[in-house]
Structure 1
């Protein structure tokens, strides 16, 4: 490649102040500039804030791969825009995430969550009680105990000083108000103190209340100075010395400050470790104080790691959260098929940098939506995977992770929506659906509903799923073949027990559409070869466990039971027998109330499986 591009500042870096885009472009094409770009490719320590920031890294990769002609052609395509567009990356402290890396939150989002942590009034009131009012109450109780032991040894001046100190504390410390309750022991002793400090004899009733208050306080906590009382106050002092959560959140915010707010982080341990000696000197926090779970949680959600690692560590605790992280990983799905690791990371960074642009470049809005159409990405296409193969692999990965990790959840709408753009790219003949009906009212179905129903019919006809739900999949397949959307909607309405036209928003009607189509799972199994690594038998067990979980809502139980039928129907005969034996054993150990609730559905499930094993049929079979 001809690197003689005209004037350029010698030795200039990628972020030199006042450097124009044109000068930066020219510098990156010198030997020094290309060497710097290649070092960034190797280390991964660069930041691509917008797709065009990666362009010159592609040039460097092509040149290193011996593709000088392709590199030169790409440079000439970029050159007309070099004065108005930055084509170089920004240097970064941390390497770019790999193509398979994902995070729930960015560092910026985690920091925003921590910044919202304000002091908690109840906690601060408790701290005030332990550090201010408990010690004062001990002094007050000790005063009355000395009066009780030897009235002549206690002077009025001592009482007056103790009373004056109370007024000072009450004016300065207003969070804790228990001492203001006239029925409290503290208030009783203070009333008695006012009388004695004024030289007046306590009225009989007040004297009795004071004696009762003293006895109660001694009985509850022991006499001040006793071993019992000393242990209690020492433990309370230890609790009061613990730093407030908002103070620890502020410390973690300072640790996050140097990091790139648009990324996740690879090292959560360093961000959530105990307070160091240096930090203690600067903040007044005690050395070694631990960061509580509530503050560690947002930072842990920002960890960048492969999806299965996040599942294993509990960072992705539900199928809904899986849907939240799916978009980020799907954006870079193509990059996972590149054999060269540095190129795969570069392509992934380019896909993840998708955002609206102010530049009037040569690609149209439609091309902009497809990062693959960018000249620099197109230039390395020969080293990339087949897009359809990669899309099917990504669909399969997410569906299998969802089935294996959350077998009772099905495919939530958020995940289906994230995966839906991959379905046409993967060549699936049926789309992924999030809503069964196209309109809120009426019985007009969504265009993709019948193809999904056809996939379910082809996969599940003659299975326990069909028998248990009383489905006639032969009828469903006829409706699908005839593209009879109205007939399919009427079938859903009838199965829901409704008469006449029914609003599509009717939950029972929508549920029947989901039962008939399996909410996308049949489509993915039929056309994307989805099969959980642990097998369908393991998925069936997991779905049953989800259905009988004590914390499950009725809707979650119903969904998990539907998933159980689906998973069990895809097991072979031996797998079904083993799964049912496991379910029977688990059911026998359930609490009586839970067991009673599943007795009828479980008996119906056994009949549906047994009819298939015997080749028999019944009223709920086609």
Structure 2
């Protein structure tokens, strides 16, 4: 990048496109909840577009909103675009309104702020600190709790400095913590959702709104109400047949019984309104009722009605048998049993009721008790058979509230991805961070703030700018002098990195560490005094061609680890060249691009600009740095099952992604995912002894024989390349085995997508 090159800027067209998409969905989508969500997205994107147009938003900067300091938590639209609004701003929250009513205050934030600084207000905050009965939804809600703690700790100067920083926003930002019952779980126990959040999800399922959500109840009503009634009407008309003809005679009392059936229909139609099939004029039941009404109320039915009636009766008997026959009885018995099954809305209410008596702002340690089959007492009250199990979909919802060690939640299926794991890590790191506070009240505040700060959404950044760190927040700076740095606390934090790293590698061996998890590793490492280069995944569409200095540090650490290994040979890495790189270009050089960025571009064979070209350069940086894998190994992360096991599982994920080609909506994305998984498989295998490496490759080769032809044709060259480097040689593409180096990005059509064997051609339907 030349020193005269202008700083990169965000593309306003992207924001305009997202606004158009959201606006279209808000107007046209059939689901009202989707329309509502799209309307909110459209509102956010309107602000982004307007702010970029008038210059009040500097998208790509670490402080993108002109009138707000970097420490203010921002409202972020998808993609990292700041809307210009503060997350702690907007209308008063319910707990703020309740506080104003309780003290007779004006319903303004400035009035609440002033109240918190009175003697009574500080006493209330101090009480919250001691009880722990509060929640911090956004980091700003820790500010006044910090003031209260500093005042009672005798640090008046620190409290005044903190107030001076936040007071300009007293009338706009919510600094009031939200009261909530305190419930502390044992250490190392985490949960994905609270009992209250899961109950809210379950309760939504008891209040069905859309036709799709009502479908089970519609079916149940049809089976339990309308099918039996249709049978009675059919039997009534069957009494009139002579030979094969219906309405050939009228037995004594037939018309009166018909009138009773019509009256019963009116009552049922008024009481049971979900199923509307009986109202359709061409349906068999509607045809029989029309003819019956004409027969009861006049001399009918008419000739037309009689013809339709004959057809309806014949088709019903032919399809299901005559009412009372063995076949018909068996069918209706099975349908009645199905109709008696409790629907999901009833069972959702059962699980919700079980969770109601538990702490609502915490997880549930013994979640299986809430998922046990229905008891006798519950069966009597909810019309659920005794011993009826909770169905799988509801179990999956409830399990989100399970409170258990991280590895146990993975085993339960509650943590299906590394992205979800990243959501749970802050609870563990918060506990470790809180160990630095000698006072229990301050310890709880530090932990609560850490959890809130981890939910702060990341900004899209350009020109190597960085995200705001927690130590830049005024209340964190004010409280930091009161946090001890004991050896016990440092040891606890230090243990988290290898433990969490081993967990991430073990459970998700084919997935690169997601950026939220990288940020947690970064924060924990800094807290433990570990100078480790954690790397976020860069976006190709906003890449400027340059890398932050930590990329070179990570690449040198990786080169020291992989030098002479199969990984270095597979990807053609000259480790000595990487280790000799300087951080900055030579003095006097006209090109100010860093040597590391130049090496990545050279390895990518960069020929043109564009997203795909940027992707190839970023991928080379990931290869050279191993994208956090070498850093994890250097920090002590090691899987209990061994590296060979991880290599095999990462390889299996790569093969599975390739097998889905090309019949997927985003084939290029699948290729990239497969290449990333394969890269991790090669890295893990490189950490194994040579005999294990050769055995693993033989297993890969053998497993391909059982794969479909199109998978074999794509993966055989990839495995052949690995065979070459495991045998000690370099990877030279081509040759008799067709060996290829598997990369995810390509400036042209990827070679994997050019393969079109016969097995992939559309099948011709044969008629015989």
2:560 equivalent to 1:458: yes
Is there any run of 5+ residues in structure 2 with no aligned partner, and where? Answer: 1-119, 137-148, 160-178, 243-247, 454-470, 586-591, 661-669, 734-739, 742-768
What SS does the corresponding residue of 1:549 show, helix, strand or coil? helix
Structure 2 counterparts to residues 16-27 of structure 1, below 5 A: none
Q: How many Å separate the matches in 2 of 1:539 and 1:303?
A: 27
2:279 equivalent to 1:180: yes
Matching residue of 2:595: 487
Q: How many Å separate the matches in 1 of 2:345 and 2:289?
A: 35
Q: Deviations over 1:583-617 (max 9, x none)?
A: 223222223332232111111121122234xxx67
Q: Deviations over 1:297-327 (max 9, x none)?
A: 2321222112222223332222221111111
2:637 equivalent to 1:535: no
What SS does the corresponding residue of 1:269 show, helix, strand or coil? helix
**Residue of structure 2 aligned with 1:392, choices 479, 489, 494:** 494
Q: Is the 8 A contact 2:540 2:615 kept in 1?
A: no
Structure 2 counterparts to residues 9-158 of structure 1, below 5 A: 49=134, 78=153, 96-117=184-205, 118-119=207-208, 120-148=213-241, 151-153=249-251, 155-158=254-257
Deviation at 1:266, TM superposition (A): 0.8
Deviation at 1:93, TM superposition (A): 9.5
Q: How many Å separate the matches in 1 of 2:731 and 2:706?
A: 32
Q: Deviations over 1:451-507 (max 9, x none)?
A: 122222222233222222233333333335557853333333444443255569943
Deviation at 1:432, TM superposition (A): 0.9
What SS does the corresponding residue of 1:256 show, helix, strand or coil? helix
Instruction: Single out whichever of 314-323 and 236-245 deviates more from structure 2.
Output: 236-245
Deviation at 1:192, TM superposition (A): 3.2
2:720 equivalent to 1:603: yes
485 and 500 in structure 1: CA distance in 2 versus 1, 3 angstrom threshold? same
Instruction: Single out whichever of 213-222 and 430-439 deviates more from structure 2.
Output: 430-439
Deviation at 1:354, TM superposition (A): 2.7
308 and 423 in structure 1: CA distance in 2 versus 1, 3 angstrom threshold? same
513 and 365 in structure 1: CA distance in 2 versus 1, 3 angstrom threshold? closer
Taking structure 2 as the reference length, the TM-score comes to 0.61
Matching residue of 1:263: 362
Q: Is the 8 A contact 1:146 1:153 kept in 2?
A: yes
337 and 184 in structure 1: CA distance in 2 versus 1, 3 angstrom threshold? same
What SS does the corresponding residue of 2:640 show, helix, strand or coil? coil
Structure 2 counterparts to residues 516-555 of structure 1, below 5 A: 516-526=624-634, 528-549=635-656, 553-555=670-672
**Residue of structure 2 aligned with 1:324, choices 423, 426, 439:** 423
Matching residue of 2:706: 589
Deviation at 1:568, TM superposition (A): 1.1
Q: Deviations over 1:344-375 (max 9, x none)?
A: 99998565333789xxxxxx986953899575
Deviation at 1:411, TM superposition (A): 1.7
Is there any run of 5+ residues in structure 1 with no aligned partner, and where? Answer: 1-19, 28-36, 38-45, 52-73, 85-89, 358-363
Q: How many Å separate the matches in 1 of 2:731 and 2:411?
A: 43
Q: Is the 8 A contact 1:442 1:501 kept in 2?
A: no
365 and 469 in structure 1: CA distance in 2 versus 1, 3 angstrom threshold? closer
136 and 494 in structure 1: CA distance in 2 versus 1, 3 angstrom threshold? farther
**Greater fraction of residues in helix:** 1
203 and 480 in structure 1: CA distance in 2 versus 1, 3 angstrom threshold? farther
Matching residue of 2:694: 577
Q: How many Å separate the matches in 1 of 2:126 and 2:278?
A: 75
222 and 351 in structure 1: CA distance in 2 versus 1, 3 angstrom threshold? farther
Deviation at 1:538, TM superposition (A): 0.9
Q: How many Å separate the matches in 2 of 1:311 and 1:461?
A: 34
Q: Deviations over 1:552-591 (max 9, x none)?
A: 6434322211111111111120110121122223222223
517 and 579 in structure 1: CA distance in 2 versus 1, 3 angstrom threshold? same
Deviation at 1:188, TM superposition (A): 3.1
Q: Is the 8 A contact 2:701 2:716 kept in 1?
A: no
Q: How many Å separate the matches in 1 of 2:526 and 2:612?
A: 26
Q: How many Å separate the matches in 2 of 1:242 and 1:114?
A: 18
2:620 equivalent to 1:512: yes
Q: Is the 8 A contact 2:540 2:618 kept in 1?
A: no
Matching residue of 1:10: none
Give the paired residue count: 539
**Residue of structure 2 aligned with 1:446, choices 517, 536, 548:** 548
Deviation at 1:233, TM superposition (A): 2.2
Q: How many Å separate the matches in 2 of 1:345 and 1:248?
A: 41
Deviation at 1:108, TM superposition (A): 2.6
365 and 411 in structure 1: CA distance in 2 versus 1, 3 angstrom threshold? closer
What SS does the corresponding residue of 2:503 show, helix, strand or coil? helix
229 and 448 in structure 1: CA distance in 2 versus 1, 3 angstrom threshold? same
Q: How many Å separate the matches in 2 of 1:25 and 1:549?
A: 55
Q: Deviations over 1:17-75 (max 9, x none)?
A: xxx99999999xxxxxxxxx9xxxxxxxx856479xxxxxxxxxxxxxxxxxxxxxx99
Instruction: Single out whichever of 442-451 and 279-288 deviates more from structure 2.
Output: 279-288
Matching residue of 1:57: none
**Residue of structure 2 aligned with 1:352, choices 447, 450, 460:** 447
Deviation at 1:92, TM superposition (A): 8.0
262 and 170 in structure 1: CA distance in 2 versus 1, 3 angstrom threshold? closer
Matching residue of 1:291: 390
What SS does the corresponding residue of 2:536 show, helix, strand or coil? coil
Deviation at 1:536, TM superposition (A): 0.9
**Residue of structure 2 aligned with 1:434, choices 536, 541, 552:** 536
Matching residue of 1:56: none
Q: How many Å separate the matches in 2 of 1:478 and 1:80?
A: 50
What SS does the corresponding residue of 1:548 show, helix, strand or coil? helix
Deviation at 1:128, TM superposition (A): 1.9
Q: How many Å separate the matches in 2 of 1:24 and 1:441?
A: 49
Matching residue of 1:66: none
Matching residue of 1:300: 399
Instruction: Single out whichever of 452-461 and 136-145 deviates more from structure 2.
Output: 452-461
Q: How many Å separate the matches in 2 of 1:508 and 1:80?
A: 54
Matching residue of 2:62: none
**Residue of structure 2 aligned with 1:237, choices 323, 336, 343:** 336
Matching residue of 2:14: none
Q: Is the 8 A contact 1:450 1:485 kept in 2?
A: no
489 and 21 in structure 1: CA distance in 2 versus 1, 3 angstrom threshold? closer
Q: How many Å separate the matches in 2 of 1:336 and 1:465?
A: 40
